[in-house]
Structures are given as structure tokens and as C-alpha cells.
Amino acid sequence: MNLGKNNLIIFGAQWGDEGKGKIVDLLSKAFDYVVRFNGGPNAGHTVENSRLKIVLHQLPSGILNRRCKVILSSGVVVDLDKLKSEIDQVHDLGVNTKGRILISNRCHIILSLHKHLDQFLETVKGSQAVGTTRSGIGPVYATKSSYLGVRIEDIFDSTTLREKLKILHKVYNHINWNWQQQYEHLVKLGEQFKPYVVSTEKVLLQAIKSGKTVLFEGAQGVLLDNNFGTYPYCTASLCVPGSAIVNSGIPLNNVKNILGVVKCYTTRVGQGPMPSEIQDLNLAAQIRELGHEYGATTGRPRRIGWLDIPALKYALKISGANMLVLTKVDILAKLPKFAFVRSYKLDGKKTDWFDLSTAQLSRVQTKVRWLKGIGPDLSTKEVISFGKMFSKVVEDNVEVKVVGFSFSPRTEDFYYI
Ligand code: GTP
Ligand code: IMP
Ligand code: MG
């Protein structure tokens, strides 16, 4: 994989949980900065290597690589209490974070109000609920869009903070929320967070000008994007790679490489269409157990499906990916046989993702192709040869180069093609 001295965007090409955390940890060694550009604590990136294992929710996955600085850019929404305990957790693992964590003054803060609202909206929706992580994500982006949000910079200005919280209390008066308590808590937290908060776009622009390299780390996946995902069964942020640019304040022409992370099968947490979902519950359960497919944030069992080529083609086209990495090759190889979805039909006619509404996606029929796996007892040599074969299958179907694949949760277990 030749990345040169170019900036890179890494994004999820499915419904999230593709294993981006591991890939960012691996590739961050070649970068000076790792920047998170969307979402908040709804994400769960698992990083596991010979020294440690951690699930990161808000800190970029480059934090374990000591030569990197990590940035939470302005598109990220922050839960300060959770971030504080995440920083403590990283410290406890012996990682020196001094001067390495930078948070944009423009990040919006997730208030306890947003979490109450998330719960409230999901309850009101009943059977139409999205199945959110209940982290307050939809409501915090909603208050941001309606000019009501609280930015991190506001917690250093007690008058502004007080006024903003009072207005929010008036607007959302149907929610039982103690704004004074929130105010006092934020003022206290403000003191602790002051050293981390800067104009991150300024830092990034200077870094790029002086030849430093930046890796942008996406959270969730393209099929959960608020515009291009399966709306309303999606998340509130923009997960497409273009979001890295608009949410970080750097000019368009600063990124050359766009790398999509693709799991060899599909998983989804929460409601919404999933054309390749495996209907055989025993088989789905077998893959779920083999791949430990339980939400890294909520612990919920993930829905399981085969790799979905029409969905992937769509995600890659709108993302402009010029390279792919496959993950969980080992899990697919452990199955005696497996399938992937080659095409869709709607009402008897061949169709592709671009032409389908969210409702139509729920009722497409899929055409699958079966291939042979290896079985449960695999040698590393066998898994690598299987990975090479499957990489070729994916490449032929989606017309984007597969530059490597992952065959265990550990960062070290990666094959460069
Ligand atoms: P989101 O931002 O939430 O989308 O997360 P993510 O893409 O970083 O993925 P997440 O950590 O939620 O899930 C991936 C899981 O797969 C983790 O438990 C990883 O340790 C594990 N994993 C990653 N690559 C491989 C692999 O090649 N093989 C196996 N067996 N596990 C892997
Ligand atoms: P929210 O982002 O918590 O509002 O959840 C909206 C939808 O996105 C739900 O279906 C969640 O399960 C899904 N979602 C949010 N974050 C992640 C993630 O990191 N991985 C997988 N699904 C996610
Ligand atoms: Mg995850």
C-alpha cells in the first residue's frame, strides 16, 4: 500500500463497525495527526494489539500511537463526561497524552437534555424507532442546526452559557431537565478541558503547510449518512469522506487518498432496510458468535448479512474511494460455504441502489452467489490465501483496488497486497 506523504481519509463503506479502529491504529504510524470528523460517543472503535485492548468512542484511534497528535474537529459532537473517562482510561494504559489531544472550540456539547430528548423521541416513535445508541446524537445536531446549540467555547463564558441553557429550557419545556445543575457541571468541567480546546482548523492548516501528514478517521458508515444513508434509519452526522473536509476546515484539494473499510460480510445495528440480511437465524447466530458481532457502544447483537455488492458499489461511488481494505476475512473463511449478494430485483426488474427509496430497499429480492470457505481450523497460510482470493472477487465486482486485508482483531494481523 503506497500512501506516500499524502493525507488520507478512512471511512466505513457499510453500516459502521467495519473495523475502522484497527485500520486507523495500523496506518496512523505513518501520520502526524489523526482527526475525527463526524459523530460522537455513538461510535465504538475497537483497538487491540500485542500490548492492549481498548474501545474508543470519542478519541481518535491514533491516540495509541505516541508520535501522533489527535484532533476532534468541528463536526464532532462531544459528551464531556464520557470523554473525560476515556482520557483517564487511556492514561491508565500507560499512554502519554500530554499535548496530544486537541478539541475544536466549535464542537457542540451533548447536554443531559439531548440524552433525555433522544430517549423521548425513540419512545414516541414506538415501532418506527430508529434504534439509536441513546447518546443524544440526533438532538444535539438538531439544536446545532436550529441555532440553539452550546459549543465548547461557550463553557468558558459563563454569561453566554447561562443564557443559552435558559433558552433551551424554554424551548424544550416538556422535558424534565435541570438546566441550573447542567450549568454548574459545565462550568466545573470547563476548567479541566481548557488546555485541550483550540482552533483546530488553524492547527491543521499550519501542519499541512509545513508538510505534516493527516489521517482523517470517519465514524459509522456511508449507509448511515444523514443524506445518503437509509434515512430516517441513519445517524445525524455526515459519514461520507467529503465530510472530513467540510467538518475540519481544510481546503478541498488537500486530500489525495480515500480508503474505504469493508467487512467481508455485512452487519447493522438498529432498524432499517438491510437487503442482504441472512434470514436463516441459526446461520446468522453462528456468524455473530464467530465474529463477536455485538455493539461496541451498546452491547446490542448486530444484525448479520452477506456482503452486499449493490450497496457497496453505491457507497464507493458516492465516496470516491480509490482503495479498499477488507476486514474479518478470518470469519468468512471459517464458514464451510458463504455467499455474497450480486444484484437486486424490485417487482421482477433488475435495479440498483441509486434508484431505490428507503421503503423500496426493504422489499428488494437479492440474487446471491455461493462460494466455498475453509472451515473452523485455519492456519495463517490458509487464511491469507483465502483473503487474496476474496479480495480479487471484491475487486472484480466493485472496480476499486483492494490494498490489504485484516484477518484477526489484532493490529499486527494485516496482509498488504
Ligand atoms: P464504528 O466507528 O463504530 O463503525 O467502529 P469500527 O469500524 O472501528 O468497528 P468496531 O470496533 O465497532 O467493530 C469491529 C470489531 O471487529 C472489533 O471487535 C474488532 O476488534 C474486530 N476486528 C477488526 N478486524 C478484524 C478481523 O480482521 N478479524 C476479526 N476476527 N475481528 C476483527
Ligand atoms: P445514533 O447515531 O445513536 O442516533 O443512532 C442512529 C443509528 O445509527 C442507529 O441505527 C444506530 O445503531 C446507528 N449507529 C450509530 N453509531 C453507530 C456505530 O458506531 N456503529 C454502528 N451503528 C451505529
Ligand atoms: Mg463500532
pLDDT at 408: 96
Among candidate residues 291, 232, 330, the one with its CA nearest the CA of residue 17: 291
pLDDT at 103: 98
Identify the residue whose C-alpha is closest to ligand 2 atom 5: 132
- 325 near 404, Cβ under 8 Å? yes
Distance CA 83, CA 101 (A): 11
Cα distances from 53 to residues 48, 64, 335, 388, in angstroms, run 4, 10, 26, 27
What's the average pLDDT block by block, 10 residues per block, for the chain (417 residues)?
A: 90 97 95 98 92 93 94 98 96 92 98 98 97 97 98 96 98 96 96 96 97 97 98 98 97 94 97 97 97 89 98 98 98 97 96 95 97 94 97 97 97 95
Q: What is the pLDDT of residues 36-86, one digit of tens each?
A: 999 999 999 999 988 889 999 999 999 999 999 999 999 999 999 999 999
- Please list, in sequence order, all residues whose beta carbon lies within 8 angstroms of the beta carbon of residue 60, skipping any fewer than 6 positions away: 24, 34, 35, 36, 70, 71, 72, 217
pLDDT at 310: 98
Give the nearest ligand 1 atom to 413 CA.
Answer: 27
Note if the bond before 301 is cis, omega within 30 degrees.
no
Q: Ligand 1 mean position to 259 CA, how many Å?
A: 16
Q: What is the pLDDT of residues 288-302, one digit of tens each?
A: 999 999 987 788 999
Q: Which ligand is nearest to the CA of 137?
A: 2
The three cell numbers of residue 363 are 422489499
How many other C-beta atoms can be found within 10 angstroms of the C-beta atom of residue 1? 14
Distance CA 291, CA 298 (A): 16
pLDDT at 113: 98
Helix, strand, coil percentages (3-state) for the chain, rounded to 5, are 40, 20, 40
Q: Which one-letter amino acid corresponds to residue 204? A: L
* Residues designated as active site: 17, 45
Q: Ligand 3 mean position to 61 CA, how many Å?
A: 12
